[in-house]
Structure formats: C-alpha cells, structure tokens
Amino acid sequence: MCGIVGAIAGRDVVPVLIEGLKRLEYRGYDSAGIAVVVDGAVRRVRRTGRVSEMEAAAGAEDFHAPLGIGHTRWATHGGVTEGNAHPHISHDTLALVHNGIIENHEAQRERLSRLGYVFESQTDTEVIAHLIHHHQSQGLDLLAALQASARELDGAYALAVIDKRDPDRMVVARMGCPLLVGLGDGENFVASDVSAILQATRRVIFLEEGDTAEITRSAVRVFDGAGAAVERGEHLSDVSLASLELGPYRHFMQKEIHEQPRALADTIEAIIDAAAFEPTLFGKDAEAVLRGIDGVQILACGTSFYSGSVARYWIEAISGLPCSVEIASEYRYRKAVANPKHLIVTISQSGETLDTMEALKYAKSLGHTRTLSICNVPESAIPRASGLVFYTRAGAEIGVASTKAFTTQLVGLFALAVTLAKLNDRLGAEQEAAYIEDLRQLPGSVQHALNLEPQITSWAEKFTLKHHALFLGRGVHYPIALEGALKLKEISYIHAEAYPAGELKHGPLALVDAEMPVVVIAPKDALLEKVKSNMQEVRARGGELFVFTDADSNFSASEGVHVIRTPRHVGVLSPIVHTIPVQLLAYHTALSRGTDVDKPRNLAKSVTVE
Ligand code: HGA
C-alpha cells in the first residue's frame, strides 16, 4: 500500500525521491507526490496516477532541493484526487507524508477547526499536519511537536515531516506501520520499505513501535515511545537490486513464477544441509516452545490463508496435532477461546499485513505466548512480534499477486508439520529421510511443471472471453483450487470460485453449463477416483473440464475434457507442484485479456490497512 521515502543530503534529493517512489510502485497506489524545502520555502507537486506523471510535473517545475519527502498513496480516507494526495501541508510551513489510518481523525478535525485550522482535503492525514503545527505554535520545536502529536493520535502511522523553518532536519514517527532509516555518508534517508533507498545505501536502522527520530545530514537520534533516547541496531540489508529489476521478463509475476525452483531451493537449503528437520529451523529456543504444544492455530489473510489451509492437512496428518486455520480479520474481532498450549502461527509475505498483526496481538492478549511467524521479509513487524520465525527465502516479491511467497510458505509449513511430528515421536528415521528426499526433488519437479507453460498458454486462450470459472480440488489440493481461483480473479478479473469437489452437488453444480469452464486439480492420490466421479457430474451437464493431473494417473482427454499432466508425482509435496499450473493459467489468461498483471486494479501488495 502507501509508500514513504525521504532524504536529507548535501545534493539534490529529488532524483532519490522519484527513484524511491518508483521502487515502491509495486506496493499498489493511486497517486503520488513530493515536497521539498528549498530557499526557505516548501514546494510540492502531486498527481493522481503513475509516479512518472508526477515526475514529469516535478521536472517541468524544475524541482531541486537538499531536503524532501515523497509518497505513494493508496486512498483510505477521501477519494483519489490530487487534493487528497500526500504530502499535506500546514500553514505553508511544514509538509508531511503518512502511511496508515488515524482512527480519531474526526475528533481531531473538530478540535483543530475550532482552533481556526482550515482543511483542504478529506484525508485523515491532514489532521496530523495541523496538529504538529498547532503544537509548534504553542512553543514546541519540530521534534517535540511531532512527539506531542503522536501522543494524541489513535491508529496506525508511519510519518515523515519537514519544515521550512527547520531546513536541517527531518523528523519521523512510527506506530503500527513500518519505517526505517537509511544511513549514508553525510546524508541520511527514511523509507517504509528498504527497496526505496537501496540505490543510496544498504545500511539501515529499523524503527520500533512508538519510536520517533530526528534525522540530519550527519546524525540520527532515535527516541522510544516515552521520549527517551534509545540505540537501535544497524543492519546491512541483503535485498538485491537485481531482485527488483524485471530482467528479460514481461512482468514481475512471470519472473516470480519462474523463480520458484530457485526460491524453493534457497528456502529448503538449511533442511537439506542438516539432513534433518530440527526445531532450530524456527529459532534457537524453538524446541522448548514447540515441545509443549497440544495444537496449532494458524492466522492469515488471502493467499497466506490458503497456504495455512494446506498446512492444516499436513499438520494433522503428519504430526497428529489438531490444527485450525482462520482468516486473521475474523479472528481479531471475535471472542475466541484461547488455549495457551496452542502454537499461534501467523503467515504474511510482507510481515506487515495489518489484520494479521492485529490478530497476533489479540491472540497474545488472550494469553497465547507461543507464537511463530512465517514471513518473507526479515525484520518486518510480524516476525519481530513473534517468538519464533521461519523466513522464506523467496527474495523480493514485487507482483501484487503472490506466487513464490506462497510456495515457499508451504515449504516452511511442511517443515513445521514434520518437526512437530518428530518432537511428538511420530517420525521414524526412514520417514524423515524420505521427506528430505521429497524436498530435494522439489525444485526439479517445480521446473518440470513450469515447462508445461506452452500447453497452459493454449488453455488460457479458451478462458479469455469467459466471465466465470469454477475450480475444484479435494483434500490437500482443495486449497490449491482456492488459490487458483484467487489468482484468476486478482489478475484477469474473471469471476472464479473454488469448491471442494465433493461439495459440487450441494449447490454449485447449478451453475455449470457450456459457458462455465471447470478447472480440476486431480493428482493421483487416494481421492482421485472420487474426483473422477465429480468430473462426470460436470460433464453430464455440458461443463467443459480442464484437468491438471500427474503423469501416472490413468485417465485421458476426451470430448470436453482437456488434460495436462505434471511430469511426475511428488507425493506429499504435490500441492506445491500443482500450484504452478494454476499460477500460469491465471497469468496467461490475464495477459490475453490485457490487464495490468503486476498492478491489478484496486489491489495493493502489502495490505497495511484494515
Ligand atoms: N489514510 C491515508 C493514508 C492511507 C494509507 O496508508 N494507505 O496504505 C490516506 O487515505 O491518505
């Protein structure tokens, strides 16, 4: 969602801000803007639409300055207009960018209006600019005014503020939304995501909840929520610039689908090297935490919810522990019954997903102490708030529709299922060795599935003009049907639903006719014969079937039944391999419909608002 970048330097920072905003585009946004302090004045340019349009406007106005902030906005409060785009300015002196939502913005707006402040936008953000200005007018300096304002705000924010009366510093604050400081040589930066400043530095300080900071060209001072000066460690980011480039691919989604063999190999490396499933995969104290549990509760949203749904099958079957999976935004608002002996597992690619973070906080407030995060972004908020962590090593995922993050999450969750089995004495040495061999084979099997792309492309042409599609699966492959339907919806805008195949005759069969393509995930497993019966039910009603199966399953194409076979059966890890064809089907269908694959309408990458 929204992105922030800021810089203070001895050089013109406008190119740094523009480049940073371009690097943040993948997160999804609807407008962009920058504000700078130069020659004793605040100057601003904002545009709806792409960063390149705002860049052209800034170029035309000849913007150059040593201090500035920039923002990509994904509107939550107030429509997508230039007037609502950030930065927001108060009294022509201070400019501010904000990620998040201010929940008490109405009360603050009334209060500030009574004090004579005039609002120019419909955003919640503008109240912060006026609030800081108000505290300055009471005699506080910029930093103290920000800290006083932060105490009066409810909700979530990452903020960066500059002021023309204070041209040698930038002040920032963080609560509930990520923000980091980049350290340069005689120049410093701020960003919501490290990719925005990698062009300038890899040295970063992650701010913590409630922190504020003052950033000058030569120094960074950080304060905790109580206002006390604190030291926050410096990290060297290992995000590679290459992972942020498109290379020979047409879209990031295509690139990321094809990166899966590598991403999976990197993620399983530690298991293969140890030739064992060790609790230390989840942190050094993991054994003590995992040994005592008597169940698993998974909390996640979107695609991560589907990886959690696959994990439920694995965890119960392999470890014998009960496991439930719940949408984080539902869990966080219901009166849940907590069992502190359950392990809370949150799954989030970005580690910033607000609903998942809040569900984790809620679980802790109910008395849960055993928490594990499966996440792709080191040092992001959710892993930092969790006792145990499994980092997927998918590399930066730029396409809004998640692909390699999903399959690598599945590896982490599989490792959890097997590790729990081992700790519960349900895993013999032979079975452990067999699972390791399955993992070793996995990248190759995924590559074989990727090689099916030409066949899947020809199927995609048949989907181009469709308005609806059904996806069916059973057992551990049912969540893969859900993921396939979600991918198709997200990027091709074709309405797609997934059902457990056995559920068809309880309702959705009524939808089936010649215009309803039905995609079936039908690997050769114990449920294949059942799935075949369900396919007959579809065929008997004129439905056209598109079946993904394995090389060794004994059924073939016929009138109205199209079949693509993944080249080899991969046993327990089959859901991972069967994800590849549904990703490719969605991608090529979207391509032939001409949609914006990497930035589908209305969606954002890191969902940092409710
Ligand atoms: N609430 C602010 C910022 C929105 C945001 O952070 N989106 O991700 C607005 O609507 O402008």
Same domain, 171 and 22: yes
CA distances from 225 to 140, 170, 173, 576, 596 (A): 17, 18, 10, 43, 41
Cβ–ligand 1 distance for 232 under 6 Å, the answer no
For residue 68, pLDDT over 80 is answered with yes
Shared domain for 536 and 471, answered yes or no, is yes
Q: Which position has the token pair 């040495």? A: 429
- In this structure, the strands spanning 88-90 and 371-375 are unpaired
Q: Are residues 196 and 146 in the same domain?
A: yes
Q: Is 75 in the pocket of ligand 1 (CB under 6 A)?
A: yes
- pLDDT, one tens digit per residue, over 522-537 is 998 888 888 888 888 8
The answer to whether position 446 is within a domain reads no
Same domain, 383 and 301: yes
Residue 404's pLDDT is 97
* Whether the predicted pLDDT of 605 surpasses 80: no
Query: Does the beta carbon of 492 lie inside 6 Å of ligand 1?
Result: no
The domain of 552 spans 453-593
Domain count, the chain: 3
85 CA: nearest ligand 1 atom: 11
Classify residue 603: in a domain, yes or no. Answer: no
* CATH number for 396: 3.40.50.10490
Q: Is there an atom of ligand 1 within 6 Å of 193 CB? A: no
Instruction: Indicate if the pLDDT at residue 606 is higher than 90.
Output: no
What is the CA angle 192-197-198, rounded to 5? 125
In angstroms, what is the span from residue 346 Cα to ligand 1's centroid?
A: 24
pLDDT in the model for residue 288? 96
Of the candidates 196, 216, 244, which is a domain's last residue? 244
The reply to whether 610 falls in a domain is no
Q: Are residues 281 and 397 in the same domain?
A: yes
146 found inside a domain: yes
Residue at which a domain ends, from 244, 270, 303: 244
Q: Where are the alpha helices (DSSP H) in 424-550?
A: 429-450, 453-463, 478-492, 528-539
Residue 564 in any domain: the answer is yes
Looking at the structure, do residues 231 and 260 belong to the same domain, yes or no?
no
Task: Tell which one of 69, 101, 103 to mutate to probe ligand 1, the residue whose CB is within 8 A of the most ligand atoms.
Answer: 101
Mutate to test the pocket of ligand 1, among 77, 352, 602 (most ligand atoms within 8 A of CB): 77
Examine residue 599 and state whether it is found in any structural domain, yes or no. no
Q: What percent of the chain has pLDDT over 70?
A: 99
Q: What pLDDT score does 265 carry?
A: 94
Residue 576 has pLDDT above 80, yes or no: yes
Q: Classify residue 383: in a domain, yes or no.
A: yes
DSSP string, 315-373: IIIII---EEEEEHHHHTTS-PPP-TTEEEEEEESSS--HHHHHHHHHHHHTT---EEE
Q: Are residues 570 and 426 in the same domain?
A: no
Cα 97 to ligand 1 centre (Å): 9
Instruction: Indicate the pLDDT class of residue 427, thresholds 50, 70 and 90.
Output: very high
Question: Model confidence over 346-388: pLDDT tens digits?
Answer: 999 999 899 999 999 999 999 999 999 999 987 788 998 999 9
φ/ψ of residue 224, rounded to 5: -80, -175
Residues 172 and 197 occupy one common structural domain: yes
Determine what percent of the chain is predicted with pLDDT higher than 90: 82
- Give the domain CATH number at 172: 3.60.20.10
For residues 541-568, give the mean pLDDT: 88
Q: Ligand 1 atom 1: the closest Cα is on which residue?
A: 101
234, two tokens: 């410096």
Interval 239-267 mean pLDDT: 90
| Range of lowest pLDDT (71-80, 147-156, 237-246, 312-321) | 237-246
Is the CB of residue 263 less than 8 Å from the CB of residue 404? yes
The sheet carrying 544-550 orders its strands as 495-500, 468-473, 517-521, 544-550, 561-566
- Tell me which of 69, 73, 124, 159 to substitute to probe ligand 1's pocket, judged by most ligand atoms within 8 Å of the beta carbon: 73
Q: What is the pLDDT of residues 211-248, one digit of tens each?
A: 999 999 999 999 999 999 999 999 998 777 777 788 88
| Average pLDDT of every residue of the chain | 94
What residues are paired with 297 via a beta bridge?
324, 344
If one counts every other C-beta atom within 10 angstroms of the C-beta of residue 379, the result is 18
Residues 149 and 260 in one domain: no
pTM given for the model:
0.79
CA dist 396 and 279 (Å) reads 26
In the listed set 408, 441, 474, which residue is the last one of a domain according to the structure? 441
Q: How confident is the model at residue 15 (pLDDT cuts 50, 70, 90)?
A: very high
Q: Is any atom of ligand 1 closer than 6 Å to the C-beta of 97?
A: no
Catalytic residue numbers read 2, 605
| Same domain, yes or no: 52 and 191 | yes
Location of structure tokens 């390149």: 52
Same domain, 288 and 173: no
CB of 413 within 8 A of CB of 311? yes
Residues 76 and 156 in one domain: yes
Structure tokens that stand for 288 in this block: 């003590």
What is the Å distance from ligand 1's center to 362 Cα? 23
Mean pLDDT calculated for residue range 406-433: 97
pLDDT, average across residues 418-430? 97
User: What's the 105 CA to ligand 1 centre distance in angstroms?
Assistant: 12
Say if 97 falls within a structural domain. Answer: yes
